[in-house]
Every structure is written in structure tokens, then in C-alpha cells.
């Protein structure tokens, strides 16, 4: 299923999009879809994870029973 997305761009950017799409022999819409997809893929790669839970797990912070963690933290302070 597809959704329509309407974006206003300056005339100069529209001309650049048109030329870039023509060079690749694809429609302007297809070119924009590909650029958006690649940009989002890169943003995820730069961020390390797209899912907030994946981001948290990448921190390698302690996990487990909260009471056990609190007990260990308190024991480390004394």
C-alpha cells in the first residue's frame, strides 16, 4: 500500500531533482523515494539502531530483576 506525500520544494531544488532523475532514467517520484529510503537507512546506521529498545540494549547496561540491581547498587555504595 502506498501513501501520498506532498512536499513543497524551491524551484531550484525541483530542477535539480528533475535532472538527477533524468540522468538515471527514472521518474522524479522514484528518485525521491530512493533518496528518502537511503537517507533513512543511513540515519539508522549512524544511530546504531532504529528501535529504542535496541538502542538501550546497545548500552550494555545492567539488566535483570530491579530489586537485585538496587541491592547491588546499594551494596556498592557502602
What does each of the 78 residues of the chain score in pLDDT, given as a tens digit?
888 888 899 999 999 999 999 999 999 999 999 999 998 888 777 765 566 777 667 777 767 788 888 888 888 876
Tell me whether residue 28 is in a domain. yes
What's the structural domain count of the chain?
Answer: 1
Record the pTM.
0.57
CA distances from 60 to 49, 56, 57, 70, 78 (A): 14, 8, 6, 17, 24
Query: How buried is 32 (Cβ within 10 angstroms: 0-12 exposed, 13-18 middle, 19+ buried)?
Result: middle
* Domain interval for residue 26: 11-77
Answer yes or no: is 35 within a domain.
yes
Phi/psi for 60 (5° steps) reads: 55, 35
Amino acid at each position: 500500500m502506498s501513501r501520498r506525500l506532498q512536499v513543497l520544494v524551491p524551484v531550484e531544488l525541483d530542477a535539480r531533482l528533475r535532472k538527477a532523475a533524468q540522468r538515471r532514467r527514472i521518474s522524479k517520484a522514484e528518485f525521491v523515494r530512493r533518496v528518502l529510503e537511503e537517507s533513512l537507512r543511513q540515519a539508522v546506521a549512524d544511530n546504531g539502531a532504529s528501535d529504542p529498545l535496541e538502542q538501550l540494549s546497545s548500552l550494555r547496561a545492567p539488566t535483570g530483576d530491579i530489586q537485585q540491581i538496587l541491592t547491588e547498587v546499594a551494596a556498592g555504595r557502602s
